[in-house]
Amino acid sequence: MSLDDPKISRPVIRQLDETAINRIAAGEVVERPASAVKELVENALDAGATRVLIEVAHGGKSLIRVSDDGCGMGPDDLPLALSRHATSKIDGSDLLNIQSFGFRGEALPSLGAVGRLKITSRAAGLEAHEIAVNGGVADPIRPAALSRGTIVELRDLFYATPARLKFLRSDRAEMQAITDVVRRLAMAEPGVGFTLKDMTDEGRVVLRADPETGDLFDALAGRLRGLLGRDFIDNSLKIEAARDGVTLRGYAGLPTASRGAAVAQFFFVNGRPVRDKQLYGALRAGYMDVLARDRHPAIALFLDCPPERVDVNVHPAKAEVRFRDPDLVRGLVVSGLRHALAGAAPQSATTLGEGMLGAFRPEAVAAPRIYQMERPSQASLIRARDWQAPALAEAQAPWTPSARIEEDSPPAEVTTRPLGAARAQLHENYIIAQTETGMVIVDAHAAHERLVYERLKRQMAENGIERQALLIPEIITLGADTERLLAHADALADLGMIIEPFGPGTIAVRETPALLGAVAVEPLLRDILDQIDDLGRSEALRTRLDAVLSRIACHGSVRTGRRMSAEEMNALLREMEATPKSGQCNHGRPTFVTLALSDIEKLFGRS
C-alpha cells in the first residue's frame, strides 16, 4: 500500500494552543496534590518566607491553600506569574548557577490550567491585588485585602482534566503524601516555621514546626527532633565532612537503631530534597558490614556544593540531580559515614534498653475474689506454718549461685570507662558490667565476633589479598558488557581478581582471591556488572571477601558456654572500647545493652 493511495490521509502538523500546552506540562509537573503543595511551598521559600501555612481539604483534591509572609508581588507581576517560562528566579543567562527551588516558571500556569487558581499578594509599599484563572482562562486583576506576603489558593485540582482524577488515591493516602512533602521541606529549612492543617477535619493541625534558632547543627537537631522524634537524635551520630568544595552535614542513625524499611532516609542537595539512586547506593556502602540485609538506617544528610557542579534540571519535578563529579560525591558520603561509625565510642541504641526495661515490668493482675467459705481458719493457718517449717530451714542453707560472681570489687577508675568493669558472667555468655551510671549487659560471643572480624580486615588491608592462579584460565563471554568490566580491572586486581581481554566480547580470568576458594566466577562477574549498572561501581567482590572473613571470625570467636575469668572479661570490654563498630556484631545485631541506674530504680519503685 503506497502513500498515493487515496484511502490514506497524510497527518497534518498543528501548533497546539496555550491551554493544551499548559495541561500537558501539568501532567509532568503536577502528578498529584502533593506535587502542587511542593511547588507552592517552594515558591514561598524562594520569596523569603519565615512562616508558611498550608491548608488542605480532601487530600488536596478540593482545596490547597498556601499562605506565606514573603516579599509578595505587585499588580504588574501577577499576570506574568501565570505565564509559562516567566520567573524571577533566573535571568536565563546561566542555567548552571541555580540557587533557588524554582526556576522553570511552569508551576503556576500548569496549576491554573488544570484547576481553579487564585493568587492574592502584596509587596512592600504597594496595595494588595488578586488574580484568578480557571482551566487556563484568566480573569482581570482586582484589588484585594492582605497585610503582607502571598496567598495561593487552588481548588478543584484536575477538574479541567477529569481523567487524571481517576488515578488519584484515597484522601488519606494523598494527605500522607502531602505530609511527607511538607516534612522534607521543613527539614531543609529549620529557620522557617511550617504549619499543615487538614480543613476536612475542622482545621486539625497535622504538622507543626516552629522556627529553630542557633547554629546549623543545633537548629537542625531541634527540627529533626520535632519531625522524626527524640529517639532519632538520641540514637544518631553527627556527620561533618568536606572534600574539594563539597560538604556533607547531618545525622546518621546508629546501626543498632535501624528500621525494617527505608522510611526514614532523607537526602538534601543544596537544600533541595532529592531521591537520588546514587546517593542511596553510597548510603548502603557506608553501612555495608554493620547492618543486616533486611535492615535500613535512619539518616538526614545535607550535601552542599557549588551550583555549577550539580544539574538540577534533569527531572520535571526536580526530584533527581546529576553531579559533575559523581565519584567525588559518592566517596564523600561513604567515607563520611564510615569515619563516623568507626570513630564513635561504643554506643547502643537507647531504644534497646527501654525495650528491655519494658519487658521487665510485670503486668498488673487483678487479685482473685475470696469468698467467705474459702477463707482458711486460724487453726489451718497454724498447721500450714508448721508443715512449711522444714522447707524454710532448707531455704536458709548455703546457696550456690549458677552465675560466676567476682569477689573483688573493681578499681573505682575502671567503672568510669564507657563499658565499666565486669562483675559477673551469666549463662556462660552474658557479661554483667558495672558503670558509674548503671550497668551494661554484653553478649560475649557477638562482641568477640566483631573484634576478630575487624582484626582480620586490618590484617588483610596491611598485607594485601592473597591470590590463587587458576590452572586453566576461565574464559567468559560477556558481549557488550566486556568493555565496561575491563574498565574496572584495576579495582578488581586490588581485590585479588585478575582479568584480561581475550578476543571480542570475551575476557579471561587468570587469578581469584584465595579466601574464596573454588568460586563460580561467571555468576560473580555478572553480579559485579549489575552493581556497576546500578551504582556506577561494584562492591560485590568486596562483599564476598568480607563475608568469608565474617564466617572465619564467627568460628574463631568466644563460644557460648565457655567460662571466662575476670581478666578475660575486662580485656574483652577494653578491646571493645578501642575497636571501631564494636556496638554491633557482623550480622548487625547489638553486642551490648545499657541500663541506666535511674531506670533500674524505677522498676523497684525507688524513684
* Whether residue 553 has pLDDT greater than 70: yes
Helical segments of 72-119, H only: 77-81, 107-114
Q: In this predicted model, what pLDDT tens digit does every residue of 81-129 receive, in sequence order?
A: 887 765 555 444 545 555 556 555 577 888 888 889 999 999 999 999 9
* Whether residue 390 has pLDDT greater than 50: no
* Whether residue 596 has pLDDT greater than 80: yes
* Whether residue 358 has pLDDT greater than 70: no
Q: Which of 495, 544, 501 is nearest to 523 (CA)?
A: 544
Give CA–CA dist 192/254, Å, rounded: 28
Q: In this predicted model, what pLDDT tens digit does every residue of 189-204 receive, in sequence order?
A: 999 999 999 999 999 9
Q: Which residue would you say has higher pLDDT here, 391 or 602?
A: 602
Q: What is the pLDDT of residue 300?
A: 95
Give CA–CA dist 473/494, Å, rounded: 19
Q: Any idea which fold 216-343 has?
A: Ribosomal Protein S5; domain 2 (3.30.230)
69 pLDDT tier (thresholds 50, 70, 90): very high
- Measured torsion, CA atoms of residues 497, 502, 506, 507, in degrees rounded to the nearest 10: 0
Q: Which residue would you say has higher pLDDT here, 175 or 352?
A: 175
Q: In this predicted model, what pLDDT tens digit does every residue of 420-475 receive, in sequence order?
A: 999 999 988 899 999 988 999 999 988 998 888 888 888 888 888 888 898 889 99
255 pLDDT tier (thresholds 50, 70, 90): confident
C-beta separation of 265 from 296 below 8 A: yes
Across the chain, mean pLDDT equals: 82
Element (H, E) at 461: helix 444-463
Q: Which amino acid is at 169?
A: R
HSE-up of 149 (CA within 13 Å, CB side)? 18
Q: In this predicted model, what pLDDT tens digit does every residue of 129-184 receive, in sequence order?
A: 999 998 888 899 999 999 999 999 999 998 877 878 888 899 999 999 999 999 99
3-class secondary-structure state, position 384: helix
Q: What is the mean pLDDT of residues 252-278?
A: 88
Element (H, E) at 433: strand 430-434
Q: What is the pLDDT of residue 424?
A: 92
Q: Note the Cα 447 to chain centre separation in Å.
A: 26
Work out the angle between the directed axes of helices 277-286 and 521-535 (0-180°, nearest 10): 130
- Taking residue 139's Cβ as centre, other Cβ atoms within 10 Å add up to 11
* Whether residue 404 has pLDDT greater than 70: no
Q: 191: Cβ–Cβ under 8 A, 6 or more apart, which residues?
A: 50, 211, 212, 213, 219
Give CA–CA dist 490/487, Å, rounded: 8
Q: Note the Cα 192 to chain centre separation in Å.
A: 22
Residue with cell 551510671: 437
Give CA–CA dist 205/179, Å, rounded: 11
* Whether residue 187 has pLDDT greater than 90: yes
Q: Which of 150, 154, 174 is nearest to 112 (CA)?
A: 154
Q: What is the mean pLDDT of residues 559-567?
A: 81
Q: What is the mean pLDDT of residues 497-526?
A: 87
C-beta separation of 531 from 539 below 8 A: yes
Q: Note the Cα 504 to chain centre separation in Å.
A: 43
Q: What is the 3-state secondary structure (H, E, C) of 36-52?
A: HHHHHHHHHHHCCCCEE
Q: What is the pLDDT of residue 396?
A: 47
401 pLDDT tier (thresholds 50, 70, 90): very low
Q: What is the mean pLDDT of residues 574-591?
A: 87
- Spell out the domain ranges in the chain: 18-209, 216-343, 346-359+404-607
Least confident of 309-318, 322-331, 386-395, 495-504: 386-395
Rounded to whole angstroms, what are the CA distances from 268 to 89, 127, 209, 248, 309? 20, 37, 18, 10, 15
Give CA–CA dist 387/9, Å, rounded: 111
Q: What is the pLDDT of residue 387?
A: 46
Q: What is the pLDDT of residue 281?
A: 87
pTM score of the predicted model: 0.74
Least confident of 221-225, 294-298, 545-549: 545-549
CATH of domain 346-359+404-607: 3.30.1540.20
Q: Are strands 322-323 and 404-405 parallel, antiparallel or unpaired?
A: unpaired
3-class secondary-structure state, position 206: strand
Q: What is the pLDDT of residue 292?
A: 75
Q: What is the pLDDT of residue 212?
A: 93
Q: What is the mean pLDDT of residues 261-280?
A: 89
Q: In what order do the strands lie in the sheet with 299-304?
A: 236-243, 246-253, 299-304, 265-269, 272-274
Q: What is the pLDDT of residue 91?
A: 46
Retrieve residue 208's grid coordinates.
507543626
Rounded to whole angstroms, what are the CA distances from 47 to 86, 91, 218, 455? 15, 16, 25, 55
- Quick one: DSSP state of residue 105? S
Q: What is the pLDDT of residue 536?
A: 62
Q: Which residue would you say has higher pLDDT here, 72 or 346?
A: 72
Q: What is the pLDDT of residue 493?
A: 85
3-class secondary-structure state, position 557: coil
Q: What are phi and psi of 507, to 5 degrees?
A: -130, 160
- Taking residue 394's Cβ as centre, other Cβ atoms within 10 Å add up to 8
Q: In this predicted model, what pLDDT tens digit does every residue of 8-47 receive, in sequence order?
A: 667 777 777 766 666 666 666 678 999 999 989 998 998 8
Q: In this predicted model, what pLDDT tens digit does every residue of 294-328 receive, in sequence order?
A: 789 999 999 999 888 888 777 666 678 888 898 89
Q: Are strands 299-304 and 137-138 parallel, antiparallel or unpaired?
A: unpaired
Q: Note the Cα 259 to chain centre separation in Å.
A: 9
Element (H, E) at 338: helix 326-343
538 pLDDT tier (thresholds 50, 70, 90): low
Residue with cell 496534590: 33
Q: What is the pLDDT of residue 54?
A: 97
Residue with cell 491554573: 112
Retrieve residue 455's grid coordinates.
582484626
- CB burial of residue 25 (10 Å; 0-12, 13-18, 19+): buried
Q: 144: Cβ–Cβ under 8 A, 6 or more apart, which residues?
A: 120, 122, 128, 129, 130
Q: Give the bridge partners for 439, in sequence order.
A: 434, 595
Measure CA of the first residue to CA of the last residue in the chain; give whole Å.
93
Q: How many residues does the chain have?
A: 607
Q: In what order do the strands lie in the sheet with 467-477?
A: 467-477, 506-513, 498-501
Give CA–CA dist 11/188, Å, rounded: 49
Q: What is the 3-state secondary structure (H, E, C) of 82-93?
A: CCCCCCCCCCCC
The CATH label, of 3.40.50.720, 1.10.10.60, 3.40.50.150, 3.30.565.10, for the domain at 18-209 is 3.30.565.10
Work out the angle between the directed axes of helices 107-114 and 18-29 (0-180°, nearest 10): 110
